[in-house]
Amino acid sequence: MSDERPIRVLVAKAGLDGHDRGAKVVAAALRDAGCEVVYTGLRQTPEQIVEAALQEDVDAVGLSLHSGAHMTLFPRVLELLKAAGAGDILLTGGGIIPADDAARLAEMGVGRLFGPGTPLAELVTYVRDEVARRRAAGRTT
């Protein structure tokens, strides 16, 4: 049995997007896989999301967006994480995000993005593997 603490994930809904069924399903899947999960609820600002991520000492932030504001909100959350000295926190997420935009976000440092219909096991495996990689690269637990 590992002495490492469980992976901690903040699942967040940013902006005016009121569709949270997918975020709740993802939060439950991560919890069922052994992660500690904090769900922010609806209509959070990037500042509120980053503040919660820091307070909760998370390994990852999963941002759920269906509003079309992904090219504004993902970069802003990433910028705030870096400004707070927490650029090692994985920023991932999903929603309705065109492939070209997902590629641009990846170039900025956003992790893999998951669209509707992605098998939950695929998302869980990605979070586990990416957090393990980041921890091995020097993040303390």
Name the residue ranges covered by the structural domains of the chain: 8-135
Bridge-partner residues for 44, per DSSP? 14
pLDDT in tens, 67-90: 889 999 999 999 999 999 999 999
CATH number of 8-135: 3.40.50.280
Query: Distance between CA 131 and CA 136 in Å, rounded?
Result: 8
74: tokens are 């993902």
19-21-26 Cα angle (round to 5): 120
List the chain pLDDT tens, one digit each, 141 residues. Answer: 455 899 999 999 988 778 888 899 999 999 999 999 999 989 999 999 999 999 999 999 999 998 889 999 999 999 999 999 999 999 999 998 999 999 999 999 999 999 999 999 999 999 999 999 999 998 444
